[in-house]
Amino acid sequence: MPEMDLAAARAALRAQNPTALLELHEGQWLDAKGAPYELRNPRAVEELAKDVAAFANGGGGIIVVGIATRLEQGREILDKLSSVDRSTVDLDQWRKLIREHITPAPRRMSVEWSDDQQGGCVVYIDVPAQDPGCLFVVAAPTGKEGARRADTVSVPVREADGTHWLPRTELQRLLSRGVAASGMPTAQALAELLRDAVVQGQPEAGPQIGQGLPSWQQEMREAYEQLRTAGLSRPVGEAYARGPAAIQEFAGEAGQPGWVLCLVGGRAPVAVAQPVWQAIRATGQDGAGSHPLSLVGYPVPGTDRTGHHGPWVVPPDARRVDLEGGSWGAGQLVRSERGAWRWEPAEQFGFLMSRYSRNWTAQQPAPQLRLRALVTWPWTDTADLQITPGRRQDLERALPYSALAGAVTILSRRRGADLPAARWDRGPWRNTPTAVTYTSTITAPDGRRAVSAAAMMLVEETVVTCADVLIEDASAWAAMLPGNTGTQLGLDDVQALLLAAWESAAETLPDAIVDPARMQWSGPPTTEVRLSAEGPHDQPSPGLGTLIDLEALGPGEDGVRSEMAVTITRSPTMPRQERQAVLRRALVHMAQHFGYVWAEEELL
């Protein structure tokens, strides 16, 4: 039989692992129910109140609903998950009934779901230890359905694995002790006590701070006290949980916007002005059935100049909000000069390649070296995007003057040859209203392809733009260069070519369909940067080291390396100088991952 105390059982349920409680026996702090309380029956409501009040009077405990028990040597053992259908249980109703039927209502009590990985689902009522000087009572059962009387009380207590009523003799003894300590109350005093009890038992007008989330109530009250000077007034709805966050909306002061109080475990509380909160929600509205906050994340407290993380206020005129905890990853909500909000991912480097990473790579004969920048644009509302004849014509005019054409031209000029990438032809891949492919090839006098630049675009549910620089045949290129000029690329060449390819894929190609600044994301955009030594498919690759001088990166791992790649997560549109700095950081990250552990930005 497993050993587990109350704290460990609470932790297991909060971690969505109710099966950890199986084989425990019911006891002073644990009770199990195979099926939910039938709350349409007044007697079931009385049973719910009795069970909760008993734990409140007995030092705290947990009631788990959805675990069947078996009798073994006179003890009830938690046997298996019988599970609970979520559609049959209203947790808010359970909380409300507990507050209404127990006097006083237990503090910090919570009623929550706990799901296991196999789809089993239980409800648990967590009753923390209460003030030892407080006695929790319920209306005495009358034996008649629905006949609860407000002028009677009973005291439920937990003894071992059972719940019982405190005997009448014990009640009399407790009352006598009170009379002996304070004297017999007069009729007037009893009337005043009754009035006070009635007033205290009445719910305050409107929702209260933390109402609806008992387990968060104390934290929300403390957060409210810390942030109320921002202008938070009364709550305008009950608190609710959304993923890891506890959230409640508040009215603003007279004539001012409302506020949303957001708490995520382990972080300082954040108060967000209602207009900004709506912008956060709207940003993730198009995520395929998911709640917006589960995509873009939750507001993160800022850091002041002392580095101290504290309560954070996001005012109505905020220009930027940092977000974390969503499936899109860390990012920021940024407001433009025109007041439009846009989500942008925080910079990250990784090695997960998209399904488009191998597109446009099947040409024959294969190039000896490919330098590629491929950008994915996960925009919303791409169904009607097309490359119109007018925009295609503009693209054809722009390509000879693009950064990609200029970099290929300069690559040869650095070696003393004037070989401009001025002519761009359609192909070799398809061109349609949803696809673009153009190539500029420098051809040796004997007809061999020496160096090429290629620009491609595909418009599907995700828009993809790609720019390649290809060393088709190093010997054909060498034949066009003066003297004994070498064709091996230096790291400066690699950076210049990748920078140009990325700029063309991010700035020139998207203009053929839409202004990227007008579009909203449906996921994080990425740029994949790749170096690959290819050559004939039936022959071993010569390796990147024969085509690129990698010695400046420092010693690397032994062996032939035919490919290196890195994925950059951040908005593809940025100033050239910033793009250059991002690319340098990405290349260092890539080199270190592929064995060049001494690589640093200074080496590039």
pLDDT at 88 over 80: yes
Q: Return the DSSP state at 183.
A: -
Which residue did the predictor score with more confidence, 281 or 484?
281
* pLDDT for 150: 57
User: Which stretch of 167-181, 488-502, 573-587 has the lowest confidence by average pLDDT?
Assistant: 167-181
Q: Class of the 6-166 domain? A: alpha beta
pLDDT over 80 (residue 324): yes
Higher pLDDT pick, 167 / 213 = 213
The backbone torsions φ and ψ at residue 575, rounded to the nearest 5 degrees and listed phi first, read: -65, 155
164 pLDDT more than 50: yes
Name the token pair of 229. 């000077």
Instruction: Count the Cβ atoms, other than its own, within 10 Å of residue 371.
Output: 26
Using 50, 70 and 90 to split pLDDT, how confident is the model at 144? low
Return d(Cα 295, Cα 522) in angstroms, integer.
Answer: 9
pLDDT at site 568: 97
Tell me, what's the pLDDT at 494? Answer: 96
φ, ψ of residue 460 to 5 degrees: the values are: -125, -145
Cα 544 to Cα 473: distance, rounded to the nearest angstrom: 14
Angle (nearest 5°) at CA 256 between 251 and 258: 30
| Most confident residue range from 288-292, 333-337, 422-426 | 422-426
pTM of this prediction?
0.64
- Which residues, in sequence order, are CB contacts of 199 under 8 Å at separation 6+? none
| Residue 304 confidence (pLDDT) | 43
Q: What is the DSSP letter of 548?
A: B
DSSP-assigned beta bridge partners for residue 154? 138
Q: How far is 423 from 452, CA to CA, in rounded Å? A: 11
Q: What share of the chain is helix, strand, coil (3-state, %, to 5)?
A: 30, 25, 45
Domain limits, CATH 3.30.950.30, in the chain:
6-166
CB-neighbour burial class of residue 316 (10 A; exposed 0-12, middle 13-18, buried 19+): middle
Q: What is the per-residue pLDDT for 33?
A: 93
Q: Which residue has the higher pLDDT, 231 or 404?
A: 404
Structure-token pair, residue 348: 């990250």
Summarize pLDDT for 388-405 with one digit per residue, the tens.
999 999 999 999 999 999
Determine the average pLDDT of the residues in 518-524: 87
**453, 437 Cβ separation under 8 angstroms:** no
Residue percentage of the chain with pLDDT more than 90: 47
Mean pLDDT of 11-27: 89
Average pLDDT, the chain: 86
Per the CB < 8 A criterion, the answer to whether 70 and 26 are in contact is no
Q: What are the two backbone dihedrals, phi and then psi, of residue 376, each rounded to the nearest 5 degrees?
A: -105, 135
Q: Which tens digits make up the pLDDT trace of 241-294?
A: 888 889 999 998 877 889 999 998 878 899 999 999 998 888 876 545 457 788
pLDDT for 134: 82
Residue 327 backbone zone (phi > 0: left; psi -120 to 50: alpha; other: beta): alpha
Which is it for the CA torsion 415, 418, 421, 425, positive or negative?
negative
Cβ atoms < 10 Å from Cβ of 82: 17
Token digits of residue 427 = 């192909």
Alpha-carbon gap, residue 571 to 579, rounded angstroms: 10
- % of the chain residues with pLDDT over 70: 88
Q: Which amino acid is at 250?
A: F
The strand order across the sheet containing 449-459 reads 348-350, 563-569, 526-533, 369-377, 463-471, 449-459, 435-443, 425-426
pLDDT at residue 178, rounded to an integer:
62
The pLDDT of residue 145 is: 53
- Residue whose pair of structure tokens reads 């009250």 in the numeric block: 221
Contact 409, 420 (CB under 8 A): yes
pLDDT at 561 over 70: yes
With 70 as the cut, is the pLDDT of residue 236 above it?
Answer: yes
Q: Which pLDDT belongs to residue 201?
A: 40
In this prediction, residue 142 has a pLDDT band, given cuts at 50, 70 and 90, of low
pLDDT single digits (tens) 172-230: 676 666 656 556 555 455 444 444 443 344 444 578 899 989 889 889 998 998 888 88
Q: pLDDT-derived band of residue 536, with 50, 70 and 90 as boundaries?
A: confident
Mean pLDDT to the nearest integer, 496-501: 97
What pLDDT, on the 0 to 100 scale, is given for residue 203?
44
Reported as a pLDDT band with limits 50, 70 and 90, residue 493 is very high
CA nearest neighbour of 465 among 429, 501, 498: 501
Reading the block at residue 484, the tokens are: 């004994």
